[in-house]
């Protein structure tokens, strides 16, 4: 039986591995797309597995992802599990001829990410990674402004995602280096890196100089309301704040900040600022990522006078758009599949790895 063909004249049969927030976003998104059938679900939480299976009318439910991949009537899978499982599940799925949509980051390291990309290329199947924040409506508006040339040539940018007390599941796999691959730089910083480079037109990063800090997490501080140090299962082995200075091809520079916990105003902040030769812009989503539309301001001039303005933007569609884009690529056929082999997400992983190396060795690292 041909598997993973994703033909446009038949239902696309998908499985979802992982029952947490991200997995539920994938389930919801698939359920809203015509011609997509959720065939299978896998996860360890027995009660939640049964609940979600019933809610979405899923015929097959498994405790182990290996069992899900044995199904014959399957074309694609979403992977929404702890990062250390991304590579083994993706490689196994791709080797069985399935298309793969994985949560970010692609893997714990670029080496693991390369294994996933190699498997996608061997199988000729799609490997995509969920970067939902580049789909924000405000980022799309700013992307259009930058691409139009209105701001001239961007030469400096700064982007961040900062929390006051937002260490997710303090003491869980999130803060175990072997399972997560890193702290906020790998978790939310990869989103910041992705949308910043996307906005700037995908310039090549030529070198990085980074620093990481673990000042609150190791003392059991900085967790959210649901998770505290009292429920810890692992030692805190990752950073709780990271900053990186990136030199870009052509001479521009980009500063990235990612923090799970620091003494700052309470709401999360996701932002992006850019200086160009003909103008600049600030995007600030206070309360991100729940804030549907950021404050966006463009700074420019006409006839020697300031001509600043506030562009209108609509809310983005987040994971719904991620999943719809993935389904569209699968349905587009083999000519489109080769262009979606995970290479972009792998490039992000190489930069994150270089940042961690720079922080560990206290030096600039050339890519």
For the stretch 227-253, pLDDT in tens is 444 455 667 899 999 999 999 999 999
pLDDT at 199 over 50: yes
Q: What does the pLDDT read at residue 231?
A: 53
**Shared domain check, 244 and 146:** yes
2: pLDDT confidence band, cut at 50, 70 and 90? very low
Taking the alpha carbons at both ends of the chain, their separation in whole angstroms is 43
Mean pLDDT of 90-112: 98
Please list the alpha-helical segments (H only) found in the chain: 21-31, 46-56, 65-69, 86-95, 110-123, 137-148, 177-180, 184-187, 189-199, 318-332, 334-337, 343-361
CATH number assigned to the domain comprising residue 44: 3.40.50.720
128 and 142 fall within a common domain: no
Say if residues 81 and 107 touch (Cβ distance below 8 Å). Answer: no
274-300 confidence digits (pLDDT tens): 999 999 999 999 998 888 999 999 999
Q: If you average pLDDT over every residue of the chain, what do you get?
A: 94
Distance CA 336, CA 124 (A): 10
| Pairwise CA distance, residues 240 & 218, whole Å | 9
CATH (domain of 262): 3.30.360.10
Same-domain pairing of 188 and 240 = yes
Judgement on whether residues 18 and 123 belong to the same structural domain of the protein: yes
* 366 belongs to a structural domain: no
Q: Indicate the SS3 state at residue 168.
A: coil
pLDDT of the residue at 171 = 66
SS (H, E, C) 28-72: HHHHCCCCEEEEEEECCCHHHHHHHHHHHCCCEEECCHHHHHCCC
The pTM for the full model equals 0.94
Q: Are residues 248 and 184 part of one domain? A: yes
As for how many domains the chain has, the answer is 2
Residues 105 and 222 in one domain: no
Is the pLDDT confidence value at 105 over 90? yes
Is 120 in the same domain as 148? no
Number of alpha carbons in the 13 Å side-chain half-sphere of residue 84: 11
Whether residue 348 lies inside any domain: the answer is: no
Whether 60 and 78 share a structural domain: yes
- Same domain for 116 and 189? no
Q: If we measure between CA atoms, which residue out of 120, 130, 80 comes closest to residue 96?
A: 120
Which pLDDT score is estimated for 10?
84
Query: Are residues 166 and 108 both part of a single domain?
Result: no
145 and 240 share one domain: yes
Helix (H, G, I), strand (E, B) or coil at 328: helix
pLDDT value, residue 229: 45
Specify the 3-state DSSP secondary structure of 117. helix
Q: Are 38 and 27 in contact (CB under 8 A)?
A: yes
Which pLDDT value is given to residue 286?
96
Residues 167, 289: one domain? yes
| Cα–Cα dist 231/280, whole Å | 45
Name the band, by pLDDT with cuts 50, 70 and 90, for residue 66: very high
User: What is the per-residue burial (b if ≥16 Cβ within 10 Å, else e) of 72-88?
Assistant: eebbbbbbbbbbbbbbb
* Domain coverage including residue 171: 137-315
| Region for 244 from its dihedrals, namely left if φ exceeds 0, alpha if ψ lies in -120 to 50, beta otherwise | beta
């Amino acid at each position: 039986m041909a598997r993973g063909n994703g033909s446009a004249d038949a239902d696309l049969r998908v499985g979802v591995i992982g029952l947490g927030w991200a997995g539920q976003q994938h389930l919801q998104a698939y359920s809203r797309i015509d011609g997509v059938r959720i065939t299978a679900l896998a996860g360890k939480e027995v009660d939640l597995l049964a609940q979600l299976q019933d809610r979405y009318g899923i015929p097959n439910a498994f405790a182990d992802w290996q069992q899900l991949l044995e199904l014959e009537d399957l074309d694609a899978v979403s992977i929404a599990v702890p990062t250390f499982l991304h590579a083994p599940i993706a490689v196994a799925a791709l080797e069985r001829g399935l298309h793969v949509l994985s949560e970010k980051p692609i893997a714990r390291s670029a080496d693991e990410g390369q294994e996933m990309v190699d498997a996608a290329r061997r199988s000729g199947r799609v490997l995509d990674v969920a970067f939902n924040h580049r789909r924000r409506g405000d980022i799309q508006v700013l992307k259009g402004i930058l691409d139009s040339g209105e701001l001239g040539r961007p030469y400096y940018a700064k982007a961040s995602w900062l929390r006051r007390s937002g260490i997710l599941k303090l003491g869980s796999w999130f803060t175990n280096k072997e399972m997560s691959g890193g702290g906020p730089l790998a978790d939310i910083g990869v989103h910041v890196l992705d949308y910043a480079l996307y906005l700037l037109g995908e310039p090549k990063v030529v070198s990085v100089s980074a620093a990481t800090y673990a000042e609150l997490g190791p003392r059991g501080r900085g967790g959210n309301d649901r998770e505290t140090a009292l429920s810890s299962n692992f030692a805190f082995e990752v950073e709780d704040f990271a900053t990186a200075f990136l030199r870009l091809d052509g001479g521009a520079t980009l500063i990235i900040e990612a923090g799970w916990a620091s003494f700052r105003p309470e709401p999360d902040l996701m932002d992006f600022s850019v200086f160009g030769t003909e103008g600049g812009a600030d995007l600030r989503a206070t309360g991100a990522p729940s804030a549907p539309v950021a404050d966006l301001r463009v700074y420019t001039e006409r006839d020697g006078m300031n001509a600043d303005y506030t562009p209108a933007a609509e809310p983005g569609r987040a994971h719904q758009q991620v999943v719809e884009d993935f389904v569209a690529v699968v349905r587009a056929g083999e000519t489109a599949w080769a262009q979606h082999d995970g290479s972009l997400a792998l490039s992000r992983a190489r930069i994150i790895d270089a940042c961690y190396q720079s922080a560990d060795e206290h030096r600039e690292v050339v890519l």
